[in-house]
Structure 1
Amino acid sequence: MRFATWEAEGRVQAGVVEAAGLHALPDGRSILDLVRAGLPAALEAGAAALDRPAVPLESVRLLPPLTPPTVRDFVAFEEHVEGMVLPSGETVPPEWYQAPTFYFTNPYALIGAHDDVAVPPGSQRFDFELEVAVVVGRDGASLTPETAREHVFGYTIFNDWSARDLQFREMAVKLGPAKGKDSATTLGPWLVTADELEPYRDADGFLALDMRVSVNGEQLGQDLLSNMGWPFEELISYASRGTEVRAGDVLGSGTCGNGGCLAELWGRHGAAAPPPLRPGDVVEMTVEGLGTIRNRVVEGLDLPPVAPARPRSRARMRAS
């Protein structure tokens, strides 16, 4: 089943997506409410919504399917890491193979499947990232990968918009990414329940979904989700290691390889080609079984430059 959240005539609703359009839940619940109720209860509520009149999809603005309490983004594709480190002459760091690395990103910066996305203030190297996200369906702590599969509610497309110049500056301080990543993340177009994607699972337990991205109609990247270094169950298990994950948490796969972002192509070509995203560019991503998101880049805010640090003081005591 596919669950969506949308806005029409100033009213936000949640419900089920099918061929005829959108069917609102009868009781005003959100998709996060459904996720927290558990997959069986959510499917039952979705089936009841199908008895209600359909709203044409083209008549609404799709919002992110849910409002997650946290958003983690992993870096689970070896080919992406390889392309990113090529300009420095390095290879994939051995630490990448030891455990699935992630960072926390901004849950307040989520945008819908067809919303405009603004260039972050001060950035000249704006980029996209083609990813898939898993949505956790049950609370849990220190989960095994086997148990983690029971905690999967569903999947959605995840575009981690990235200001590469800001990102690389702040990561040189051995921290981050932060402002290079927190301006916008597209989530959508809807949340597809896990049972719908089981036919795509390969013999190794990965979801073999075709992933494609184009800019202004020109395809720049294509990969299979099954090229991840770890399946989603391993990512959930690692995220919960020594702590907990909760229903509604979103975990991104990280950028796929073979052109899943511009920075990887820059690393392989040795130059900024294709060029960074500019206002007016349209980025479209399609993932098999999950749908299509399409966002237009627009001008961002023109803010004053950030003040540099003051020269450090060596004083150890207050002046008397």
Structure 2
Amino acid sequence: MRLCMFHPAGMPLERGWVGRIEGDEVVHLASQTLQHLFTGGGTARDHARYPLAGVELLVPLPSPPSIRVFDASGSFEFANPAAVVGPDARVGHPPGSPIAVDAGLAGLVGPETVVAVCPVARLRATALAPPKDRDFAIALGPWFTTTDEAPERPTVRATGAEPAASVFDWEGARRYAAENTKLRVGDLLLAPAAVVVDLPLAARVSVDVDGLGELRFALESP
């Protein structure tokens, strides 16, 4: 199941609606957010249907409670939930610094497991020292795909880079993240980047993951 946030073109909404994508249509679901949807068991009453070509897709998870970014060793660091932007966003960045994009997958934590995955791109201003080099933009979208329909070894393609497979133990990461604390529905886990690409200061970027959709956004010169 592919789940998104959207509004019909020409009818912008403050928060958008939850939708289920079926072929070339989006079904409006009776839920406020994806967090509410999964807290309620992952189902909601259907409302109207809209042509996919006639809607604007929004960031599918605009306010995650937390974001943990894993590295290849299995450790993680926290990222800034306020930095999340959606598909087709115009992303500003620190002036004068080259930009690198860490492209791969994000997992959405549900009540007891990771319930869905989504393409993600974390931007880094490589002229700045950590952690401020990576504090300004995390692009997410265009939708989440529930794990029962997601490929086990998806290939990640990003603008200007060789494709690579993303293989990650989502449940192992979730269990580790939950040790000595409590995870909330809507927390995000980012797998180690499958593809890293350096970009010019103004560029259009595509992160295309087999079976999970294409995330597009644009870097905007300050």
Kindly state the Cα deviation for residue 56 of structure 1 after the two structures are TM-superposed: 2.4
1:29 aligned residue (29, 32, 47) = 32
User: After the TM superposition, which residues 124-135 of structure 1 pair with which residues of structure 2 at under 5 Å, given as runs?
Assistant: 124-135=97-108
Cα distance in 2 for residues equivalent to 1:127 and 1:297: 11
**Partner SS state of residue 130, structure 1:** strand
Shift of residue 248, structure 1, vs aligned partner = 0.9
1:54 aligned residue (49, 52, 57)? 49
Structure of greater Rg:
1
Partner of 1:68 in structure 2? 64
Structure 1 position 282, deviation (Å):
1.1
Determine which structure has the larger helix proportion and give its number.
1
- Decide whether the 8 Å contact of 1:36 with 1:248 is kept in 2: no
Q: Is 1:114 aligned with 2:118?
A: no
Match for residue 209 of structure 2 among 277, 280, 287: 287
CA distance in 1 between partners of 2:164 and 2:121 (Å): 15
Output the CA distance in 2 between the equivalents of 1:151 and 1:194: 10
Report the AA paired with residue 237 of structure 1.
Answer: R
Compute the displacement of 1:283 (Å). 1.0
Retained in 1: the 8 A contact 2:31–2:37?
no
Name the CA distance, whole Å, in 2 between partners of 1:28 and 1:133: 22
C-alpha offsets along residues 9-63 of structure 1, whole Å, 9 cap, x if unaligned? 22111111111321111x35211111222xxx31x32xx42xx432222333322
Aligned-partner residue type, residue 262 of structure 1: V
1:105 to 79, 90, 93: 79
TM-score, L = length of structure 1: 0.64
CA RMSD of aligned residues (A): 1.7
Specify every segment of 5 or more residues in structure 2 that has no aligned partner in the other structure, as ranges. none
Q: Secondary structure at the match of 2:186?
A: coil
* Amino acid across the alignment from 1:2: R
Contact in 2 for aligned 1:154/1:191 (Cα 8 Å): yes
Q: Larger strand proportion, structure 1 or 2?
A: 2
Pairing partner for 2:114 from 142, 149, 152? 152
Q: In the alignment, which residue of structure 1 is the partner of 2:179?
A: 241
Residue identity in the other structure for 1:36 = T
Alignment equivalent of 1:208, drawn from 153, 158, 176 = 153
Give 3-state SS (helix, strand or coil) of 1:62's partner.
strand
DSSP-derived class of the 1:186 partner: strand
Unaligned runs of 5+ in 1: 77-95, 139-149, 171-176, 201-206, 264-275, 301-320
Partners of 1:5 and 1:15 within 8 A in 2: yes
In the alignment, what sits opposite 1:252?
190
Q: Secondary structure at the match of 1:189?
A: coil
State the AA in 2 paired with 1:7.
H
Q: Which residue of 2 aligns with 1:221?
A: 162
Residue 155 of structure 1 contacts residue 192 of structure 1 at CA under 8 Å; is this kept in 2? yes
Q: Which letter maps to 1:296?
A: A
Percent identity, aligned pairs only, is: 28
Other-structure match for 2:109: 136
Contact 1:20 1:54 in 2 (8 A): no
Number of paired residues? 217
Q: Report deviation, 1:221.
A: 2.4
